[in-house]
Amino acid sequence: MFNKPKSPAPERPSNALPIPPLPDLPSPGLNRAPAPVPAAAPSPIASSRGLSTLSSDLQFEGNISGSGDLQIDGAIKGDVRVGRLIVGETGAVEGNVTADYLEVRGRIVGGVSGKQVKLVSTAYVDGDITAEQLSIDIGAYFQGRVLQSRREAPAPIAPAPRPAPPVAEIETAPAVAAPAEDKPQIIDLKSV
């Protein structure tokens, strides 16, 4: 359909300084040994669904909610309610945080609630934590109360009430005013 004419690449003057590569991409022209990348422990989020990231140069004001996975490396002023959350070392949240799985490496000022909450050694949390499982590494800062929540067990199912055994009906004769003298009264009992 459409053809774009190929133009030759512009030549660089011989006295020009080389352009440094981006930190995470290899340089095509330079033959340097790749810098060793520190091995980080794989997070449970990385292996699951797609991870949304709020990068370190972003600031967000307002509430965030959803069922997905989120990594916060920037700053948020507002409540966060997601399925899984990582607050990175440069991340900061000023508000309440709720997530099924929460790993804190950065700073949270506000209440924290989740099924699994992990405070890594670089974490700073100023607020109450409500969690089923809580892990706090040595070096993490935490100021607040901890409330351990338990999964609510389903209500026990009560057995159905048994029907009452049949009751014999008692048939009585109509009451007759007794004369002054006492006569025995006759009552007929018939079973049904």
pLDDT band at 50 (very low <50, low <70, confident <90, very high): confident
One-letter-per-residue 3-state SS of the chain:
CCCCCCCCCCCCCCCCCCCCCCCCCCCCCCCCCCCCCCCCCCCCCCCCCCEEEECCCCEEECCEECCCEEEECCEEECCEEEEEEEECCCCEEECCEEEEEEEECCEEECCEEEEEEEECCCCEEECCEEEEEEEECCCCEEECCEEECCCCCCCCCCCCCCCCCCCCCCCCCCCCCCCCCCCCCCCCCCCC
pLDDT digits (tens, 9 = 90+) for 153-183: 555 666 666 666 666 565 555 555 555 556 6
Domain layout of the chain by residue ranges: 51-146
CB 86 within 8 Å of CB 71 = yes
Please tell me the predicted confidence (pLDDT) of residue 51: 87
What are the CA-CA distances from residue 15 to residues 10, 21, 127 (Å)?
Answer: 15, 18, 58
What residues contact residue 145 under an 8 Å CB cut-off, 6+ apart? 128, 129
Please tell me the predicted confidence (pLDDT) of residue 27: 47
Residue that wins the pLDDT comparison between 33 and 52: 52
Q: What's the mean pLDDT when you consider all of the chain?
A: 76
Half-sphere exposure of 77 (CA within 13 A, CB side): 2
Structure token pair of residue 108:
């949270």
Q: Given a cut of 50, is residue 53 above it in pLDDT?
A: yes
Q: Given a cut of 90, is residue 142 above it in pLDDT?
A: yes
Q: Given a cut of 90, is residue 144 above it in pLDDT?
A: yes
Please tell me the predicted confidence (pLDDT) of residue 40: 45
CB 79 within 8 Å of CB 97 = yes
pLDDT band at 114 (very low <50, low <70, confident <90, very high): very high
Percent above pLDDT 90 for the chain: 48
